[in-house]
Each structure stands twice: as C-alpha cells, then as structure tokens.
Structure 1
Amino acid sequence: MTVVLVADDDADIRDLVAFKLEQAGFEVIAVGDGPAAVEQAALRHPALAVLDVSMPGLSGIDVCRILRGEPATADMLIIMLTARVQEQDVEGGFSAGADDYVTKPFSPRELVSRIQALLSRTRA
C-alpha cells in the first residue's frame, strides 16, 4: 500500500484529506506541524507528502527544502496545499522543490487525482 504523509495544522483539513486518501486506498500518516512531518518522513519514507505552507515549527516550504536535502527523502513527491495564492508564493513552493501546488479552497477529489497522477508518472 502506498504511504502518503499529510501535514496541516488545521485538523479539519488534515482529517478531510486523510479520509479521502484512505478511501482511495492509500495508507496515511497525518501530522499537525512541520517538525513532525520531517520526523515521520525520515521514519516511514512515504511515497508522497502533502504539505501545508503555513504550519507551526517549520513551514511547508522549510519541510520541503529539508526533505529535498536528505538523500533518504530527496526523491519523495511533494504537493504544497495552501491558501497562499500570490505568484511569489507559488514560485517559492516550486523553487523549494515541490512537484505540485494546490490552493485552498480545494477539491478533495481533485487533490486525490493529482496525487494519483504524480504517482503513476513516477512508476511508469
């Protein structure tokens, strides 16, 4: 089963994303802050991480940079999920190493589709 890490400090969003991913057949690790995301990524080596940009401890951008800098997690797929929609925010997410950038409010079904598409391209 494919493991996906979901890191968001908003419990409602975190639970919604986790629920939709579990319905789609993924194993989900859900955490509420940046340091926990880095810790779980190092321990569990998920195939993909969904990171909120604004989290306590470390931002999703910081987490993305840390994961890209570690050999064990450098190839992990990363989707930023955020309310930050300014062009410089999107640019910052991609320059930190994100594979995709989804803005809130978002469609949970679209997010699952994007995750499935990213995973299918890397497995081909």
Structure 2
Amino acid sequence: MSLIIADQVKEVIGVEINNDGVKDAVINAKRNSINNVRFHRTDVGKFMVELAMKNEAIDIVIMDAPRVASDEAFYKLNPKKIVYISCNPETQAGDLAFLVEHGYQVKGIQPVDMFPQTNYIKTGTRLTRNDTTLK
C-alpha cells in the first residue's frame, strides 16, 4: 500500500514485521523509482509508540489491521486522518467505536467482496480527527 500512495504525499513510512514483505517492498520501490518511502521491519505497535514518544507528527495512517483488531498502541499517534482496512468487520466495529469516542469521525466505509461466494469481506473506512485530541 505504501508504494501506491507515494506519488500523492511528501513521505511514506512503511512498517511490516514480515522480513520478506519488507524486502519485496524495497525491491519494488527501486524498480519503480520511488524515493520518498522508508521501510522498517518491526512490530507496528512498538513503532507507533516510539514515534508518539518522540512527539512525531503523522498526518495520515493507513492501517491494514490484523483479524483480531488493532492494538491501542496504534492510536497513540493521534493522526489527522486514518484509513482503516480490515478483514473482520466485527472487530473493526469495536475499533471504530473507540475512535469515535475519542474524537474521530467516520467519513465513509467501503466494503469489498474480494472472494465471492465466501464469507470473507474487507472493509475500508476513512476517518478524520475532530478538533479534539485522542485521549
């Protein structure tokens, strides 16, 4: 996902715990002459907590949440916008309720039926932070 949006933003930080995923992303960035992306092979939650502790400002977070829902460490950054992709609408609903309760507004939800004739569905949700900050 990081490479897809790289031409629309100043900088992209890609975080993935899977070593092969990071290697492939680096190769694809080079093949496509994409120079504004940095990749980190680490746990996303730990990475986000470290950024928050350094008071790093992140404008937009695009997160493809694990099936078990996101970790609260994700919310510590308090980004202006969130694109939340999920393969489990039930856990996403709980996370969205938390985000709304803490100052975000759902701007749109798009379900995507990636595997017709199965129960598997992805949803993409766009949120923006209200003037309040995440507590």
TM beyond 0.5: no
Structure of larger gyration radius: 2
TM-score w.r.t. length of structure 1? 0.45
**Relative CO higher for 1 or 2, CA cutoff 8 Å, sep ≥ 6?**
1
The structure richer in helix per residue is 1
TM-score w.r.t. length of structure 2? 0.42
